[in-house]
Amino acid sequence: MTEHDITLTVNGTAHELTVEARTLLIHALRDELGYTGANVGCETSLCGACTVHVDGEAVKSCTALAVQADGAEIETIEGLAAADGELHPVQRGFQEEHGLQCGYCTPGMIMTATELLEENPNPTREEIREGLEGNLCRCTGYQNIVNAVENAAAAMSSGAVADGGAVRWPTDDGDGDGDGDDDDGGSAAGTDADDAGAGGRE
C-alpha cells in the first residue's frame, strides 16, 4: 500500500504524519492524532457524526481521504471553545436547550451548525432544519437541536464578537478588570460557566 507524508493543521497545531493512500480523514484524526471528538457512525456519508471543518467548510470526514486534506486547516469540536474554556455560543446553545441526549451526534451537529450560522446568522427554524439535514440524531427528536441553534443565533447576534472568523463571547465584560468574568454576582447575559450547569451533558 502506498504511503504519503502529509501535514494536517488541527485546531491550530500542525501535525506531520504518514498515512496510507486509503486512510480516511476521520481515522487520521482519531487514530493517528488522537482527536476523538468527531465520531464514526455510518462511514457512508449519511449520519454526519464525523463532521469537522476543513478550511472553514463542514465536511463529513468519513468521506474524505486524509491525503485530500494535506495542507488543510482543520477544526474539530475540541478546538471550538476559547482557550480559556469559554464555550462557543453553539455549544452553549446545545447545553442550555438540552440539544443532546447520548451526545454521539453532537460534535457533528455543532460543527455543521457553526458553519450554518457563519453563512446565515439569522436562520428560520426551517432553514436550521435544512442546514442540519445531513446530520442524524437517534435521541432528541430534533426539536431541542433546532432550539439550540436558534439560541446560539440570538446569542451571537446580540452579544458575541467576531474573532478571526470564529465567533466567541466577549472577553471583556466591561467591568474594568479585562478578565471577561462577570463580577457582579450573577450573569444577566448567561455567559458565566456555572449559569447553565457544567459539562454540557446533562
List residues binding ligand FES (CB under 6 A). 40-43, 45-50, 60, 62, 100-106, 137-140
Cβ 172 to ligand FES shortest distance, Å:
35
Cβ 83 to ligand FES shortest distance, Å:
27
Residue 88, C-alpha cell as written in the block: 462557543
91-95, long-range: CB within 8 Å, 24+ apart, which pairs? 91/200, 92/151, 92/152, 92/155, 92/190, 92/191, 92/196, 93/147, 93/148, 93/149, 93/150, 93/151, 93/152, 93/155, 94/145, 94/148, 94/200, 95/196, 95/197, 95/200, 95/202
Cβ 129 to ligand FES shortest distance, Å:
15
Cβ neighbour number for residue 141 with a 10 Å cutoff: 10
Cβ 109 to ligand FES shortest distance, Å:
7
Residue 181, C-alpha cell as written in the block: 468574568
Give the residue with the Cβ less far from ligand FES, 79 or 108.
108
Give the residue with the Cβ less far from ligand FES, 47 or 153.
47
Cβ 95 to ligand FES shortest distance, Å:
13
Give the residue with the Cβ less far from ligand FES, 53 or 168.
53
Q: How far apart are CA 195 and CA 121, in angstroms?
A: 24
Give the residue with the Cβ less far from ligand FES, 110 or 153.
110
Give the residue with the Cβ less far from ligand FES, 51 or 191.
51
